[in-house]
Structure 1
């Protein structure tokens, strides 16, 4: 519990009314009686503009350079937060850092389950990581931290902040190319997490890091055995332990191998770790399978070429008519049209029916639509019993709903529309079956 009256690793003037908090946030909208606010500089405005609203919401304290009630007053809020995070992290004996061009969140969820560890929530920015370390750094158990980058030099900053004992790279592919420029830069930047540490790389990333221990299936150092993927999920063995992952595919199974490897190295009971893995639930939009009259694979949280390729590979293992619905992948730089075309070619080879939407709709699918509403209307008129529909695109997280609709990103709305259609059909059929329909 972050306590402003405890010994702090930085000089601060602590207001007498400041009190301990359950957690920290840099988003004033999340501030409340148990959530303290850190006023950090942003791209367009400073968090100091929202200190009053955080205090009005009941924040136990605010970390700021302003002289206000319940202030932990410091010259530089970010420097203070970082120092606090590093001091708390130093109290923990085992921290796992995970990065990669795809699969970070999935690997984090499965590694944390196997280790029975505290883990990062959805956000993986430096402020989010710092707040997490202040909250959980002193925990007795291990920590699992997702470390995402989108610019040169950022991984070195994250490693300095997190100081992981184990560094993991899940996969390598074109992502954030507008800032990172090339695959070579991505490999080098991601690889900073491996330098001087216990390093592990996923099977897809292994060729980029010769000599680093690899995990997954096939020709890797730490391999799961007898992988079988069905519409019901994935099954394999590791070190003689059987593992069942409901509604999972190969990507999730590889993440589970990582988790079991880390659990074995930590001396944990592997059967108990495997049982925890079978109960993992990833956040919405990350390969979440919704089964029913037709199946919807919600993988719409984000997209890069390597992530879309993995999702399409999982789609091929599904029975029924396979439909891919793909939207624009952001931050691919000058090669974006070529990369979209390559993904679309793979989709045509692996799906029975392909849809594309947005700027590169024709590259992504045989049925191309300019906007998300147009796509949604067409798809709802096409889908039928037994179909399996994969939805994947980038989010455009800072965009308005109108911008997302026009650009062909943020396809979570398509997922929602499909599920509503499916549920209406199921409800209508159930009503007819029991005689209550008209």
Structure 2
């Protein structure tokens, strides 16, 4: 529990009415009698503009340079937040940092389950990581932190904040190319996480770090830590590791690889591997990240985000399933000058893995044989086509690109397509 009256690793004037909080937020709309507010600088305005609103909402304290009630008054709120986070993180016995061009959130969920750890929520910006470390750093349970980057130099900053004991790179591929420039830059930047710690890399990323001493690989096949006897069915996957059979309902190879990572971490932490394997079968990843909805036809909701390596993994998972396979793909953001070529390559893979391919939005023709300019047009065609026994994969980038010079670029937001498919599937009253 963040306590402003405890010893702080920075100089602060603590108002006598300030009190401990359950957690911190930099979004004043989340402030409440249990949630304290951190007034951080933003792109357009400073969090100080919302201090009064946070206090009115009952925030136990506010971290700010303003002289207001319940203030923890500092010269620089962001520097103080990060210093506090480092101090709390230092109290934890095991911190795992996870990065990668795709699969970070899935790996985080399975690693945390195997370790019985606290883990980062979906939002993984530096302030979010800092708040997480302050809230959970002193816990005896391990911490699993997702460390996403979109510019050069950012991983070094995150490593300085998180100071992980174990660094994990799930995959390497073209993502955030507008800022990172090349695959080589991406591998180098993410590889900063592997320096001076125990490093683990997924099978897909392993070739990028083959000459890195001490870095071990995990997954299936020719890797340091390999799962065995992998079986993939529409009901899920099973495999063995260290003599233990692992069953993951409604999962695919990506989830199985993440589960192997979790078991490697649990084994090295001295935990009971059988108990860790049991916890893996109960993992539930957030919506939009390869969530399988069964029924008279199957919908694979992987619509949260997309990059070429992530779409490739999803298409390969689709190809392994029985039934008529349908891919519904939308634009991938922040791919730089080669975006048309990258979309075309993904489209060729879709045509090889799926029986029927749909594309929507920019580069729709590259992504699918049945191309549509907008989601409403897509839905009219798709809903008239889908039938019992089909397996439909839905994947695209959502939201907008936050690159200043490309701010107008919009993702497709195919979560609405998933919702429409599920309503259509259940329209006859049969349970899904």
TM-score of Structure 1 vs Structure 2, range by shorter chain: over 0.9
**1:405-429 Cα shifts (integer Å, max 9, x gaps):** 995521111111111111222x1x5
Equivalent position of 2:106 in the other structure? 106
CA distance in 1, matches of 2:392, 2:54: 43
**Residues 169 and 200 in structure 1, CA contact (< 8 A), matched pair in contact too:** yes
**Residues 202 and 257 in structure 2, CA contact (< 8 A), matched pair in contact too:** yes
Q: CA deviation at 1:397?
A: 4.7
Q: CA deviation at 1:131?
A: 0.3
Superposition CA RMSD, Å: 1.6
Equivalent position of 1:231 in the other structure? 234
Query: How many correspondences in the alignment?
Result: 425
Equivalent position of 2:307 in the other structure? 304
**Residues 110 and 277 in structure 1, CA contact (< 8 A), matched pair in contact too:** yes
**Residues 100 and 171 in structure 2, CA contact (< 8 A), matched pair in contact too:** yes
Equivalent position of 2:194 in the other structure? 194
Structure 1 segment 122-133 matched on structure 2, within 5 A? 122-133=122-133
CA distance in 1, matches of 2:400, 2:56: 28
Equivalent position of 2:65 in the other structure? 65
**Residues 152 and 189 in structure 1, CA contact (< 8 A), matched pair in contact too:** yes
Give SS of 1:179's match.
helix
Equivalent position of 1:116 in the other structure? 116
Give SS of 1:390's match.
strand
Equivalent position of 1:331 in the other structure? 334
**Residues 399 and 411 in structure 2, CA contact (< 8 A), matched pair in contact too:** no
**1:325-350 Cα shifts (integer Å, max 9, x gaps):** 00000000000000000000000011
CA distance in 2, matches of 1:133, 1:197: 19
CA distance in 2, matches of 1:195, 1:24: 30
Give SS of 2:255's match.
helix
Equivalent position of 2:344 in the other structure? 341
CA distance in 1, matches of 2:183, 2:33: 45
CA distance in 1, matches of 2:236, 2:259: 13
Equivalent position of 1:361 in the other structure? 364
Equivalent position of 1:374 in the other structure? 377
**1:26-48 Cα shifts (integer Å, max 9, x gaps):** 11111111111111111121111
**Residues 173 and 308 in structure 2, CA contact (< 8 A), matched pair in contact too:** yes
> Runs ≥4 in structure 1, deviation > 6 angstroms?
none
1:169 aligns with 2:169: yes
CA distance in 2, matches of 1:7, 1:119: 25
Which stretches in structure 2 are left out of the alignment for 5+ residues? none
Q: CA deviation at 1:317?
A: 1.4
Query: How does the TM-score come out when normalised to structure 1?
Result: 0.95
Give SS of 2:427's match.
helix
**Residues 400 and 411 in structure 2, CA contact (< 8 A), matched pair in contact too:** no
**Residues 332 and 411 in structure 2, CA contact (< 8 A), matched pair in contact too:** no
Which stretches in structure 1 are left out of the alignment for 5+ residues? 431-438
1:385 aligns with 2:388: yes
Equivalent position of 2:39 in the other structure? 39
CA distance in 2, matches of 1:80, 1:254: 38
**Residues 299 and 392 in structure 1, CA contact (< 8 A), matched pair in contact too:** yes
